[in-house]
Every structure is written in C-alpha cells, then in structure tokens.
Structure 1
Amino acid sequence: MLSTKLSKYSVILASNSPRRQELIKSLDIPFTIKTKEVEEIYPEELRQTEITDFLADLKAIPFKKDLGENELLITSDTIVWINNEALGKPKNYDEAFQMLKKLSNTTHEVITSICITNKSFQKTVNDTTIVSFRELLDDEIDYYIKTYKPFDKAGAYGIQEWIGKIGIAKIEGSYFNVMGFPIHKLYKELSKL
C-alpha cells in the first residue's frame, strides 16, 4: 500500500484548503499541514496548464531551503479557464457574481497542477476537467454566494456544493480535480517513489 511505500518520507501538504486536506486524507497516508504565504502572480503570457504548473512550483519555493532529506512537500494550484481567461479566487461578492455569470450556460476547463518536491527532486503534473453549467439565474447565483461564500474557490464555485448540484449539467474528467485535487494523479506519482 501507499503508506508502506511512503514510510521513509514525512509528507507535508502546503494547503489551507479543507477539500485538499480531505482528499489527501482519503489516500490513507499520514501527513502534516504547513503553509507559507506566497504572492500568486504569474507571467501574463502563460496559458492554461502553464499557469497552474507555474503557481504550484512557486508555492514550493519558500519551503525548499528548509526541506529535510526525508520530507516530501505537496503544493497545488487550481484555475478555471474560460474564453482564454483564467479565473482564480474571487475577492468579494461582486467578483464572485461576475465569475458565475461568465460560467452560466457555458463550458469551461478546471485545471489543477500538483508539485511534489523533495531535497533531491521535483515533479509537477496537472489534470484538466471540462465542466458545463446550465443557465444560472441571478437569484440562484445570489443565494449561492450569500449562503456558501465561495471566496476560497477558483471560479467562485465548489462542485460539491449546492451550485454544483443544481447547476452543473455535464462533466468530462475527474470530479476530484474540480474539487481542487486530481487525487488519482497524486496517487500515481507517489506510487512511483
């Protein structure tokens, strides 16, 4: 099992996301949570997976000099990609409303990258899921934002929440990737260690 394979490592998840914490817990491996503030800015010319790869790698940088030989750091980033634009986390109600209006009655990509870092190696993998929303009414968007406060979620929504249940018409790819962690890809990469 994976926990046996990883027994020589101390796994660190660098994320405050309750969804990521819940998903890595489901792999039945022991891990600790450590976070460091990183300004999530990327070069303007980057597109799609280039953005999430860059940001997942960027989040590992503050940890690198202090990583022990047996420590394994996992960093991650998720964006919503629609009409050649990356949607990150909304700063306020108005931004969240505008994001959900953009996603209403359209199809977009949810892209997540995972960076696995050790003293002697670093590997970044990503996954893309295609999500289609039905038309969302303004009062549905308003209710969702006021009730669920999705300000910590890329694209201003959580697939596992009310808006995902009533609004998503179709999904192609990993559901868990849309939650913010393509757990099957993480499992595969950790199994190679």
Structure 2
Amino acid sequence: MDKDTNTDSIILASASPRRKEILSSLGVQFSILVADTDESCDIREPFAFAEELARRKGQAAYALTDKKDSVILSADTIVVCDGEILGKPKSRDDAIRMIKKLSGKTHSVITGVGVTVNGITTTNHSETFVRVDDIPQIEIERYVDSGDPMDKAGAYGIQGAFSRWISGIDGCYFGVVGLPTNCLANLFYEVTGKELTQFNV
C-alpha cells in the first residue's frame, strides 16, 4: 500500500471505550465509525467465529464511510468455556449463568481483529487463557447488579472489580480487554507495509 501518508487515515470500527483507550495509548490518530452489524453467526469454531465478526464490523464500516482510502480497524471478543462461546449477556440471569460457568475454571478469551483496505478485510486473532477462582453466589449477584458485565463478552471485565477473582492469565492481557495490540500491529504491517504507530505521523 503506497500512499501519501498525509492523506492516510485510520478508522476504528468500534464503540468500545476500552478499545478506544488502548488504541489511543499507542499514540495512533484515528476516528471512530460504528455501523450496525449482524452478530448472529452459525460458525461454531471459536477462532473463525471471532474473525468473522471482526470482518463484518470492518466491512460494515467500509460501506458506511465516505473515506474509502482509510484503513479500518475492527475487533470482536468472545469467551469460550467448556466448549461454549460466550458473547455479551442478554439479561441479568444470563450474566449470572455465564459467571457461574467461569467460576473455578480456566477459560479462553479470543479476540478477532480485522484490517480493511480498499474494501478487503484481512483477519487474525489472539487467544488468552484466564484462570478464575471460585466465586460465591452472593458475590456473583453483587457483581452483576453493579452493571459492569452487561456490555462485555463472558459477562466480566478483567480490568475492573472482577479482577479480584482472576488468579492468572496466559497470553495477551490486551486481548482480554478487547484489542490485542501485538496481534493488531503485526496484522496492520502485513496488510499495509507500515507500522501502526507510525502510519499517520
């Protein structure tokens, strides 16, 4: 991709404040564009599932933007426990069910990332294993009632109050938060031939 970097721009196709914060921390200049995306998916293989949703988000943003020369970054995070893909909880009861499922076990957090250039989305993913202590029922309900888990895959945020029950992780911390910086930067370089942190400097 050989272009005048003065005209290059990066779009983050996500409303997540956590992804915005992570990308900002890299010193990347970007705008945000969120398009409605169908997140229902028949794919059962977790890596392919996460990458497909990241691809859809990138494609939806590309269709919506009038800046067709922009590079669009997209991501989707899922939690996998005992073979079940856990997205965002649909209700209080669903959030309680998810956390009870995670309690006392090691689960996988997979974040699919996408880089869209000229309408073509290239994807990859990161996987992190997270160990969770046994959580008393009353603490599960208290956490759910705080409202924190309702917009998060697997019904928890590693960077918040839930961290009290996380005994360890194996893999990329930022992938659990929602934007694996190493995976994204490597994919960005693969697609554009440029470093993410230097793209529009």
TM-score (norm. length: structure 2)? 0.87
Displacement of 1:59 = 1.4
Kindly indicate whether the alpha-carbon contact (under 8 Å) linking 2:59 and 2:121 is maintained by their aligned counterparts in 1. Answer: no
Partner SS for 2:76: strand
Q: Who is 2:96 aligned against?
A: 97
In the alignment, the residues of structure 2 paired with residue 60 and residue 68 of structure 1 have an alpha-carbon distance, to the nearest angstrom, of 13
The answer on 1:139 being equivalent to 2:144 is no
2:15 corresponds to 1:12: no
Alignment-derived partner of residue 151 in structure 1: 150
TM-aligned CA deviation for residue 6 of structure 1: 5.9
Which segment drifts farther, 64-73 or 108-117? 64-73
Work out whether residues 128 and 176 of structure 2, in 8 Å CA contact, stay in contact via their aligned partners in 1. yes
What is the distance in 1 between the residues matched to 2:103 and 2:68?
A: 47
Aligned to 2:51: 53
TM score, norm. by length of structure 1:
0.90
CA distance in 1, matches of 2:11, 2:62: 12
Quote the offset at 1:146 in angstroms: 1.3
- Distance in 2, matches of 1:7 and 1:112, equals 31
1:132 partner letter: R
CA change 1:119–1:13 in 2 (3 A) is same
Deviation, structure 1 residue 148: 3.9
Deviation at 1:68, TM superposition (A): 3.4
The one-letter code sitting in structure 1 at the alignment partner of 2:47 is T
Aligned AA (1:48): P
CA RMSD of aligned residues (A): 1.7
Query: Matched residue of 2:150: which SS?
Result: coil
Structure 1: which amino acid aligns with 2:55?
D
Gap runs ≥5 in structure 2: 195-201
Distance 1:132 1:43, change over 3 A: same
- Which residue of the partner structure matches residue 186 of structure 2? 188
CA shift, 1:140, in A, is 1.1
Letter in 1 for 2:169: I
SS in structure 2 at match of 1:150? helix
Cα deviation, residue 121, structure 1? 4.2
Structure 2 counterpart of 1:50, which letter?
A: A
